[in-house]
Structure 1
Amino acid sequence: MASAEEYEHAPVPPTARKSLLPVAAVWFGFPMNLGNAVFGGVIVYNLGLVEGLLAILAGNLVLFGYVGALSHYAGRTGENFALQAADTFGRRGRIAAAGLLATVVIGWFSFQIGLTGTTLQDTLGWAPMWGALLGCAIYTLLTVAGIRALALVGAVATPLFVVLGAVAIGYGAGHTSASDALTYQGTGGALGFGGAVAIVIAGFADSGTMTADFTRWSRSGRSAVVATAFAFPFANFVAYALGGVVVAIGGSADPAADGGGFLPLLTGHGPLLTALAVLFVFVNLGSVASHCLYNGAVGWAALTPAKMRPLALGLGVLGLLFALSGVWGHFVDWLNLLGVFVPPIGAVLITDQYLRRKGRAADARDYRWSALGAWAAGALVAGLAHYFLPGSVDPLFGIVVAAVVYAVAERRRPPRATAEPAIDATTASTV
């Protein structure tokens, strides 16, 4: 697996594309993770079960539209995210967008490493540092193995998550009746419906925007969209909802802090189940961590002459240092940051790709200021919404404003000389 070409600097050729199943497995196993169960529990703790599930579903439908549109173009072209960004933001301008996302996903990698250490501490009494070190080594090696390993670990992580999640709910169900769980109203009150939708969107704003790194392996745009649907709304909704049910049945000792983390419900029932719980930690968190590290390594490889695998090793060490510093614990601030700055990038990409299908030629300029300006406008408005309209769906403000500003700027741009598009298209094909 380690010798397979990852196509960091060029589109995936048709001969190397994969069928629906392996690409779907890559996306399918990504959202089904303990972190999303935690967030789902926090949402239900604040909104109640029914309203919380509706908020989770709404966020996932937005993600499907957003990530699905980006995936469709990736499946048609075979380009990774950084290659897509070159035509939209410019050959040099793409460094701002692709470099930002390739860096922030390392923050999520660090989050999973830190979560591994603390989870094993709670489960087995290990020192968090040793769990984090072991997790980092395993997750980095998975990433180095490439896209095939991501598909394999996703195929294993998904059924393991569903089965052990169901077992955990079975053990926790003794705390309440089914009718009480269904009518659970929540006792938090610190989070509104819009804020809950924003959390769901922000949770996959970065890797969702970089979906082309995964779905470029699809054989067509339609196949890429179907693969995306396995993640949004299906897998992501299941992960959030399972955590919400854990809180609704009273299975979380501290839902305000731990949300729907269900691993404690699996311990204390014999060595076999405890061993399975430990295996689950590495498989489940490893699936998420390796996907994030793959995004980061492919992104920085596309921006430099380097290859994905050496960069994965270096970024893995960097992520470990971040995790050991404790920065991974600020996940709420992290989500707010992602929800403000990242979705406008995808909105500009989608709008640009739509305009291109309507006849705009490929563009090989170093900087495309209309795209960079639209991104800045969307991020500014999303940030203002976050601070001055608490409870709003911040990412949607950024998406709409960025798309509108870019479309207006492109419509008002004077037509280019007839010979120029042909030159641009030839140059762009070498980017």
Structure 2
Amino acid sequence: MTHPTEQHGLDEEFEHKPVPLSHRHRLSSVAAVWFGFPMIITNAVFGGIIAYNLGFSRALLAILMGNAILLAYVGTLSFIAGSTGRNFGLQAERTFGRKGYAITSGFLASVVVGWYAFQTGLTGTTVHASFGWNETATIIGATLVYTGVTFIGIRALSIVGMIAAPLYVVLGLVALYLIGAEHSLAAVFHYGGLGTGSMMSFGGAVTLVVATFADSGTMTADFTRWSKDGKSAVYATLTAFPFANMTAQLFGIVIVCAGAAAAPATQGGDFMSVLTSHGGFLSAIALVFVFVNLGSVCTHCLYNGAVGWGRIAGKKMRTMAVLLGLLGGLLAVAGVWSLFLNWLNLLGVLVPPIGAVIIVDQIFVRHYSYDDDVPNFRGSAFAAWALGALAALFVHGMAPWFSEAVAGMLVGAVAHYVLSQGAMREVRQRNGLL
């Protein structure tokens, strides 16, 4: 059976209804969407910053824990998506209400557009610093390319992932080979970091790992709704967390622990300068790498934003991709990427409880398979989100050694479960389970 198409001949994106089983994609295609997403230079930066603060062994443990949390969190949301075919907006609607979902979905869709703007701006900054190209012109060109790829749809994201992941691994290994010629890689395992002088706690490091994918991880349904079933959606997520995400972070950890990072406190394990400093063919490949690597992030985030705002505004994903893509490009030219740390702090506190509330609601309270009436607003879900966010803020200020992301998830989940006890009994009676 052929896929339904829109007027321009591209496949339907199902912004406003679940993806029918007849139009789901094979596992390798969905996995490529997620597998290629974390294989980005930004993860090498973060991995290196964590190693600089905590040392090799503690940094390795922090990213292991962070990725385990992401697998459980994103994997469960993906299972629901693959089982139902619903995108994040439709998923959030069942938990937060027919009108209430617009608050959570709109918030997250705006956050990912901010990430898109940041990474588009970073493209211009990186290319200017490495190759001397005009920064503004590069940002404008990147905006047009990234928006055009997103316009094609989910299949384009799959292709980008198939290119981005192998290219990252190959060039990362090349960078390590070049570094090994000047630094002893055997010293990596003994790197102690800043020790007691570190401003980053272990819990803060775990939060950083979770926060980097808290937004698109919560919106994973936009990607994994294309899976054949829930189990396939989990397998697709598994390729990202822990495998792709940890691989990308490990390159940064090794580079910093080997003493080869130019500015480990701020740029972590960024290995772009290692590639470009050798000039010639390697420098040309590095230029392609910048656009493919950062383009992978930008297209994924813009897709999330376009699907989310498309659902809210009653528009097609492609219409919103063009509008948001151009808006993000303008923000990138204006220098919004300088607000980077503010975005991370916002994500770590406010986003994880949203997904935790959805998980509890659709696994334990109102199962995703139930066909119940949905109110305009579900107060218990919003209250649980607020309590989770407050708990995360408290941990951030009073107990920084613990992970604020984990605190927000746990409190949000428990709060929604407790607040929904009465509703749970009614739902079970209605569905003949009591």
Q: TM-score, normalised by structure 2?
A: 0.94
Displacement after TM superposition at 1:421 (Å): 8.1
Aligned positions, number: 422
Do 1:62 and 1:201's aligned partners in 2 also have CA atoms closer than 8 Å? yes
Which 4+ residue blocks in structure 1 deviate beyond 3 angstroms? 357-361, 412-422
Q: Structure 2: how far apart are the matches of 1:249 and 1:400? A: 37
Displacement after TM superposition at 1:330 (Å): 2.2
Is 1:384 matched up with 2:394? yes
* More deviation, 25-34/132-141: 132-141
Is 1:279 matched up with 2:296? no
Q: Structure 2: how far apart are the matches of 1:113 and 1:382? A: 29
2:382 to 345, 354, 372: 372
SS where residue 400 of structure 2 aligns? coil
Do 2:26 and 2:227's aligned partners in 1 also have CA atoms closer than 8 Å? yes
Letter in 2 for 1:391: W
* C-alpha distance after superposition, 1:260-293 (max 9, x if no partner): 1100000132321111000000011101100000
Equivalent position of 1:353 in the other structure: 362
1:145 to 129, 141, 152: 152
* C-alpha distance after superposition, 1:184-233 (max 9, x if no partner): 11136121211100000010000000000000000010000000000001
Q: 1:181 to 1:175 in 2, by over 3 A?
A: farther
Do 1:56 and 1:200's aligned partners in 2 also have CA atoms closer than 8 Å? yes
Q: Structure 2: how far apart are the matches of 1:400 and 1:367? A: 23
Q: 1:367 to 1:169 in 2, by over 3 A?
A: same
Equivalent position of 1:324 in the other structure: 333
Equivalent position of 2:64 in the other structure: 57
Equivalent position of 1:30 in the other structure: 37
* More deviation, 184-193/18-27: 184-193
1:254 to 237, 259, 263: 263
Displacement after TM superposition at 1:174 (Å): 3.2
Do 1:361 and 1:421's aligned partners in 2 also have CA atoms closer than 8 Å? no
Instruction: Give aligned-pair identity as a percent.
Output: 52
Is 1:406 matched up with 2:416? yes
Equivalent position of 2:3 in the other structure: none
Equivalent position of 1:314 in the other structure: 323
Equivalent position of 1:182 in the other structure: 189
Q: Structure 2: how far apart are the matches of 1:271 and 1:109? A: 30
Displacement after TM superposition at 1:78 (Å): 0.2
Letter in 2 for 1:129: T
* C-alpha distance after superposition, 1:337-389 (max 9, x if no partner): 10100000000000011122399652321001111111111011111111222
Q: TM-score, normalised by structure 1?
A: 0.94
Do 1:42 and 1:260's aligned partners in 2 also have CA atoms closer than 8 Å? yes
Q: Structure 2: how far apart are the matches of 1:61 and 1:154? A: 22
Displacement after TM superposition at 1:414 (Å): 8.3
1:91 to 83, 94, 98: 98
* C-alpha distance after superposition, 1:110-154 (max 9, x if no partner): 111111011101210123212211111111111001000000010
Displacement after TM superposition at 1:178 (Å): 2.6
Do 1:140 and 1:313's aligned partners in 2 also have CA atoms closer than 8 Å? yes
Equivalent position of 2:247 in the other structure: 238
Q: After the TM superposition, which residues 110-259 of structure 1 pair with which residues of structure 2 at under 5 Å, given as runs?
A: 110-187=117-194, 189-259=198-268
1:304 to 298, 313, 318: 313
Q: 1:359 to 1:163 in 2, by over 3 A?
A: closer
Equivalent position of 2:23 in the other structure: 16
Letter in 2 for 1:401: V
SS where residue 357 of structure 1 aligns? coil
Letter in 2 for 1:390: P
SS where residue 181 of structure 2 aligns? helix
Structural RMSD (CA)? 1.9
Q: Structure 1: how far apart are the matches of 2:273 and 2:38? A: 20
Equivalent position of 1:6 in the other structure: 13
Do 1:30 and 1:154's aligned partners in 2 also have CA atoms closer than 8 Å? yes
Q: Structure 2: how far apart are the matches of 1:278 and 1:158? A: 16
Q: Structure 1: how far apart are the matches of 2:172 and 2:88? A: 33
* More deviation, 94-103/241-250: 241-250
Letter in 2 for 1:406: H
Q: Structure 2: how far apart are the matches of 1:363 and 1:26? A: 33
* C-alpha distance after superposition, 1:56-78 (max 9, x if no partner): 11100000000000000000000
Do 2:117 and 2:332's aligned partners in 1 also have CA atoms closer than 8 Å? yes
Do 1:56 and 1:197's aligned partners in 2 also have CA atoms closer than 8 Å? yes
- Long gaps (5+) in structure 2: 1-7
Equivalent position of 2:5 in the other structure: none
Q: Structure 1: how far apart are the matches of 2:143 and 2:424? A: 51
Q: Structure 2: how far apart are the matches of 1:195 and 1:263? A: 26
Equivalent position of 1:428 in the other structure: none
Do 1:362 and 1:421's aligned partners in 2 also have CA atoms closer than 8 Å? no
Do 1:63 and 1:201's aligned partners in 2 also have CA atoms closer than 8 Å? yes
